[in-house]
Amino acid sequence: MADAPPDPKPLSPLDKDQRQGLKAIREFLRKRTSYDVLPLSFRLIVLDTDLLIKKSLNILIQNSIVSAPLWDSHISRFAGILTATDYINVIQYHCQFPDEMSKLDQFRLASLPDIEKAIGATPIETVSVHPSKPLYEALRRMLKTRARRIPLVDLDEETGRETVISVITQYRILKFIAVNNEHNTILLKKTVRDLQLGTYTDLAVARMGTTVLEVINLMVSRNISCVPIVDSENRVLNAFEAVDIIPCIKGGAYDELNGSVGEALCKRPEDNPGIFTCSEDDRLDSIFDTIRKSRVHRLVVVDDENKLKGVISLSDILKYVLLHGEEDDAA
């Protein structure tokens, strides 16, 4: 006769709290809509696809934004979101077709799909969500497609056409969770080490002297949005993010991409919050505290000597909060 399966190990108080916290946050995400994440008043800058790519850079910089929804005024339709990834594609196009520099200068935002095709990049699927759908749904869609932002698209009652209400990012959603769930996030007492939150092996890193182009190639080949900058002792000095590319190529300065990462980081806007670090012993609730108080886009995990151990992206945190032990939720 086969042995009966052993009784499951009883949950520790730490495990129980963690489960309860996650369950409550997931319920919150099912009850709230994407619309709830929006502030009472906000601006939305939408760019026409007839705009020259080089002009779009100035508009993003002048307005201190790093992405914008696109509008095709010929067919009055939403045409996707312009992000740093599009500029990375433009840079790769420039590298692959250096003789086409003058043509590149005349490219409009409508040419972005052609650029993507020419360099053989995998198109990013633009998923959108209706603003009144549960936030949980928007997040599931974002995690499935690896999108870092999702447009909220509604139908205009008069014209019956699509209208972009706003765009919400992973950061906005995590902030919304953090601000409205202090009583639940406090239950998440497990540490980064316990949860194995983030990536700790085969980390992509660069030095201050690495060229911007090399870092861009690293981000493309590894499909990541940030590369920590370390010294010869693996101590963390900074991190180069995909959005740091935007000021680098302002005015079509593609040749400056041969400059160093160190120089490029000096072009960051003055209000840039810099990088956030944590240790493997930090608890998830303290990470939520940091998100509640600051504009965090990722955390670099360091040891006591500030040496690089890992990277925690917002997608790692969202994936854990939304999907960890999901089947437990049904019980």
Which range in 250-258, 264-272, 307-315, 322-330 contacts ligand AMP by CB under 6 A? 307-315
Q: Choose, by CB under 6 A, the member of 177, 227, 246, 248 that binds ligand AMP.
A: 227
Under the binding rule (CB under 6 A), the answer on residue 229 touching ligand AMP is no
Instruction: Report residue 52: phi and psi, to 5°.
Output: -65, 140
Which residues, 6+ apart, have CB-to-CB distance to 23 below 8 Å? 328, 329
Q: Does 85 bind ligand AMP (CB under 6 A)?
A: no
Q: Give the binding range for ligand AMP (CB under 6 A) out of 42-50, 88-96, 118-126, 197-205.
A: 197-205
- Selected range binding ligand AMP among 16-24, 45-53, 221-229, 264-272, rule: CB under 6 A: 221-229
What is the distance between the terminal CA atoms of the chain, rounded to a whole angstrom?
Answer: 30
How many residues in the shown chain lie near ligand AMP by CB under 6 A? 14
**Placement of tokens 């060229």 in the chain:** 211
* Among candidate residues 321, 16, 329, the one with its CA nearest the CA of residue 142: 321
* Residue 226 interacting with ligand AMP (CB under 6 A): yes
Q: Which residue in 82, 116, 313, 318 binds ligand AMP (CB under 6 A)?
A: 313
Within 285-304, which residues bind ligand AMP (CB under 6 A)? Answer: 298
Cα(204)–Cα(219) distance, integer angstroms: 8
| 311 part of the interface to ligand AMP, by CB under 6 A | yes
Among 25, 203, 215, 317, binds ligand AMP (CB under 6 A): 203
Residues 233 and 181: their CA atoms lie apart, in Å, by: 39
Q: Is the dihedral of CA 97, 102, 103, 105 positive or negative?
A: positive
CB-hemisphere CA count at 13 Å for 175? 15
Considering the complex, state which of residue 203 and residue 278 has its C-beta at the smaller distance from ligand AMP. 203
What is the three-class DSSP state of 233? coil
Query: Mapping DSSP to helix (H, G, I), strand (E, B) and coil, where does residue 276 land?
Result: strand
Q: Which of 18, 49, 169, 225 binds ligand AMP (CB under 6 A)?
A: 225
Interface residues with ligand AMP (CB under 6 A)?
A: 198-199, 203-204, 224-228, 298, 311, 313, 315-316
